[in-house]
């Protein structure tokens, strides 16, 4: 919707008529505007900044302005698997943010490998800038802009959650428009915006992202509309272009639909979403994309969707945050294991984590801030145990959380590739 940080995908962005604003206020009801520019440049602004939007944003060229060598030489430069990141922030913070950017790109590649096999790994320059003067010199406009040769983002520590949600939301769009929609960028809104919101809300856990997050404020709004029968008719909704979307209602319903399709436990619906993506890549009409994917009319699904959402409880929907906590701590456990650390109990592991005694390999480091956040959530959960293979203590340990009410067990498991890069999964099962 606003800022974009996916490297090799910006060249295929769709381009509505110059100067067209789309009002989109997804997360908390605050209005957010996207300005589509004349030749494929994308800018984000908030309502408060709209009046001061520079006139150049309305007629920007595809390539950004020349970058003075004197400016570039002052910036920290970090090259990653997918990006060339430049910033006036401190190097440690830049490396931490670069790690997350790479992780999100890698996660999309893995989830949609049936579409991403041919994706070229061209490294896109990304500028994360906090100084307004430097930001403007680099071609920055409003809070973030994607040019044909770079991405420039105005960093704000005060709006961290929205900052990352926006990046992840937009990264999906660029991914989709490059690999799925082709040069015309035509995707139905429920598919494009629904998946952008689905991934935009996902939680970074160190070695991946936990999806299925539906924040409480959005959940309350959505459930109220569903229960009152105020949701938009599916048959009409699935034919709306993403470019025509506006208003919090569309974004909430798009997220609610995708959450139902991907999180209800019906594997046929997960497969249907993948089929719909494949059909979209072949240029099928919007109604046919849905029908081909799901094998039924959109209206037939609406009642099932409404019934499923009405049956959801707060506890069930909040489990995803617990899963993310287990995944994050398992990522740190995996790194410690790879560095030769072993722990007799979960309490010993958590104590070492709190005291900063976990080994964090320089090749695959994770930020301390991520560990601190997960430890704060972990302190409210119990009971934690650590499982070690009785026959071979060198095998990876498992981090286990059994919920206090005895209803669910979360088991974090990991493996290490030959280079020591962890792969982490969380198994969720009913307690025995």
Question: What is d(CA 149, CA 196) in angstroms, rounded to the nearest whole number?
Answer: 23
Does 5 or 180 have the greater pLDDT score?
180
Burial (CB count <10 Å: 0-12, 13-18, 19+), residue 354: middle
Calpha distance 382→271 (Å, rounded) = 35
| Last residue in a domain, options 293, 312, 331 | 312
Domain range for 61: 10-159
Rg (CA), the chain: 22
Give a yes or no: residue 215 inside a domain. Answer: yes
Kindly state whether residues 112 and 29 are assigned to the same domain: yes
- Residue 266 DSSP label: -
Domain edge (last residue) among 267, 289, 312: 312
Q: Which pLDDT value is given to residue 119?
A: 57
CA distances to 36, 66, 321, 395 from 26, in Å: 18, 34, 20, 45
252 plus 370 within the same structural domain: no
Residue 168 lies in a domain: no
CA dihedral 290, 293, 294, 296 (to 10 degrees): 60
* Alpha-carbon span 99 to 143, nearest angstrom: 22
The whole-angstrom separation of Cα 284 and Cα 59 is: 33
Lowest mean pLDDT among 28-42, 72-86, 165-179: 28-42
pTM of the model: 0.79
Same domain, 135 and 35: yes
Quote the number of domains for the chain: 3
Q: How far apart are CA 294 and CA 325, in angstroms?
A: 33
- Asked if 222 and 324 sit in the same domain, the reply is no
Q: Is the distance from CB of 320 to CB of 365 less than 8 angstroms?
A: no
Residues 285-298 have pLDDT tens digits of: 777 788 878 877 77
Query: Looking at the structure, do residues 121 and 106 belong to the same domain, yes or no?
Result: yes
Q: Are 414 and 334 in contact (CB under 8 A)?
A: yes
pLDDT per residue as tens digits for the range 223-270: 999 989 898 998 888 888 776 777 889 999 999 999 999 999 999 999
Examine residue 176 and state whether it is found in any structural domain, yes or no: no
Name the band, by pLDDT with cuts 50, 70 and 90, for residue 34: very low
Do the domain assignments include residue 52?
Answer: yes
What's the rounded Cα separation, in Å, for the pair 147 and 208? 28
Residue 14, C-beta contacts closer than 8 angstroms, at least 6 positions apart: 177, 181, 184, 185, 186, 243
Do 308 and 322 reside in the same domain of the chain?
Answer: no
Locate 325 and state its tokens.
Answer: 């906590």
Do 334 and 384 lie in one domain? The reply is yes
- Asked if 184 and 270 touch (Cβ cutoff 8 Å), the reply is no
If asked whether residues 21 and 80 sit together in one domain, one would say yes
Structure confidence by residue, pLDDT tens digits, 67-89 = 999 999 999 999 998 889 999 99
Pick from 269, 296, 312: which residue ends a domain?
Answer: 312
**Paired tokens of 192:** 């494009």
Say whether 208 sits in a helix, a strand or coil: coil
- The 10 Å CB-count burial string (b at 16+, else e) for 194-209 is bbbbbbbbbbbbbbbb
321 lies in the same domain as 305 = no
pLDDT attached to residue 339:
95
| Judgement on whether residues 287 and 367 belong to the same structural domain of the protein | no
Structure tokens at 16: 């509505």
Do 269 and 320 reside in the same domain of the chain?
Answer: no
More confident residue, 11 or 210: 210
The answer to whether position 85 is within a domain reads: yes
Which position has the higher pLDDT, 26 or 46? 26
Tell me the backbone φ, ψ of residue 238, rounded to 5 degrees: -75, -5
- Based on the domain organization, do 214 and 271 belong to the same domain? yes
The pLDDT of residue 118 is: 54
Note whether residue 33 is domain-resident.
yes
- Give dist(CA 196, CA 174) in Å, integer: 10
Q: Is residue 322 part of a domain?
A: yes
């Amino acid at each position: 919707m606003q800022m974009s940080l996916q490297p090799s995908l910006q060249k295929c962005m769709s381009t509505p008529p110059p100067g067209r604003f789309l009002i989109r206020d997804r997360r908390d009801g605050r209005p957010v505007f996207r300005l589509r520019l004349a030749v494929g440049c994308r800018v984000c602004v908030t309502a408060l900044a709209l009046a001061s939007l520079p006139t150049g944003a309305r007629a920007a060229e595809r390539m950004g302005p020349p970058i003075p060598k004197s400016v570039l030489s002052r910036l920290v430069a970090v090259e990653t698997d997918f990006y060339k990141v430049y910033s006036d922030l401190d190097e440690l913070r830049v490396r931490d943010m670069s790690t997350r950017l790479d992780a999100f790109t890698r996660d999309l590649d893995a989830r949609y490998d049936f579409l991403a096999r041919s994706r070229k790994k061209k490294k896109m320059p990304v500028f994360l800038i906090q100084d307004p003067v430097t930001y403007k010199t680099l071609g920055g406009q409003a809070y973030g802009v994607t040019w044909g040769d770079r991405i420039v983002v105005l960093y704000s520590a005060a709006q961290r959650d929205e900052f990352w949600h926006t990046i992840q939301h937009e990264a999906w769009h660029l991914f989709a428009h490059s690999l799925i929609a082709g040069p015309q960028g035509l995707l139905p809104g429920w598919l494009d915006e629904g998946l952008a919101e689905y991934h935009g809300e996902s939680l970074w856990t160190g070695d991946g992202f936990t999806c299925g997050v539906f924040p409480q404020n959005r959940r309350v709004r959505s459930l109220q509309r569903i229960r009152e029968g105020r949701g938009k008719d599916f048959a009409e909704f699935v034919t709306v272009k993403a470019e025509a979307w506006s208003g919090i209602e569309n974004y909430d319903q798009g997220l609610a639909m995708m959450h139902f399709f991907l999180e209800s436990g019906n594997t046929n619906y997960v497969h249907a979403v993948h089929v719909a993506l494949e059909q979209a890549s072949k240029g099928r009409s919007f109604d046919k994309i849905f029908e081909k994917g799901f094998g039924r009319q959109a209206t037939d699904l609406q009642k099932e969707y409404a019934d499923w959402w009405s049956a959801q409880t707060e506890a069930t929907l909040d489990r995803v945050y617990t899963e993310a906590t287990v995944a994050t701590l398992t990522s740190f456990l995996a790194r410690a294991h790879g560095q030769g650390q072993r722990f007799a109990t979960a309490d010993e592991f958590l104590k070492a984590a709190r005291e900063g005694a976990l080994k964090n390999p320089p090749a695959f480091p994770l930020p301390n801030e991520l560990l601190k956040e997960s430890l704060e959530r972990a302190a409210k959960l119990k009971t934690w145990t650590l499982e070690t293979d009785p026959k071979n203590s060198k095998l990876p340990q498992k981090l286990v959380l059994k919920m206090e009410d005895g209803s669910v067990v979360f088991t974090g498991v990991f493996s290490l590739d030959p280079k020591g890069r962890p792969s982490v999964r969380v198994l969720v099962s009913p307690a025995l």
